[in-house]
A and B are shown apart, each in its own frame.
Chain A
């Protein structure tokens, strides 16, 4: 099955700095890579995602890049704000032997991002 590794496990930045979180995946057949933000006591919230036919996607201060050859993808947050402080999870969606998705997301271990005012 799929294995996703996420680094770093904790990240501390000053407000206004950029933050980068990196993930690697093992199954080259995986084709969908979402990022979730989870604040303390809250639900995981989908913040951005990327599919394997795209190399980069941007939404305001957030961007995700995908390198299929190296099997890694990254989350970039620019101009960080204290409200960006949360746990961020990357995930990869597996493809079954028939080449279709059956919805299983495998998550990385999470990155605790702290943005200091």
Chain B
């Protein structure tokens, strides 16, 4: 398996909801990333996990909570989001942090 997969593809949630995004890879990569991409903008890094430990948090609001249960899985827990958090959330992985990153298809999130 040479792909990064993400579920769900689309998510609509209210500002009081709690939801989670899931990312999975079976390439043996030990670094995983969450990015946020607004329309017509580049991806912006949110979090980096290296060997299942959080190594970078780009000052992301606490309403976004990442979790790395094992080396293949990365979650992003969402709570009390704002409409401006609506975006495409991309997961990526790499062999280690110094190697090339491969992106998943993303979850398109709409906060109402």
Q: List chain A positions with a Cβ less than 8 A from chain B.
A: 32, 34, 36, 42-46, 49, 89, 91, 93, 100-110
Contacts and interface: CB of A to CB of B under 8 A. Distances in A.
Contacts of A106: 45
Interface of B: 31, 33, 40-45, 48, 50, 55-56, 58, 90, 94, 97-98, 100-106
A49 B100 contact: yes
Contacts, number: 59
Given A103-B48, A104-B48, A109 B101 contact: no
A43 B48 contact: no
B56 A103 contact: yes
A43 B56 contact: no
Contacts of B33: 103
A42, A44, A46, most chain B CB atoms within 10 A: A44
Contact of A89 (B42, B97, B102, B104): B42
Contacts of B101: 34, 46, 103, 105
A42 B105 contact: yes
Contact of A103 (B42, B90, B97, B105): B97
B104 A43 contact: yes
Contacts of B94: 103
23 contacts: A32-B98, A34-B101, A36-B103, A43-B90, A43-B103, A44-B43, A44-B90, A46-B100, A46-B102, A49-B100, A89-B42, A93-B98, A101-B97, A102-B55, A102-B97, A103-B50, A103-B55, A103-B98, A104-B45, A105-B43, A108-B42, A109-B41, A110-B41
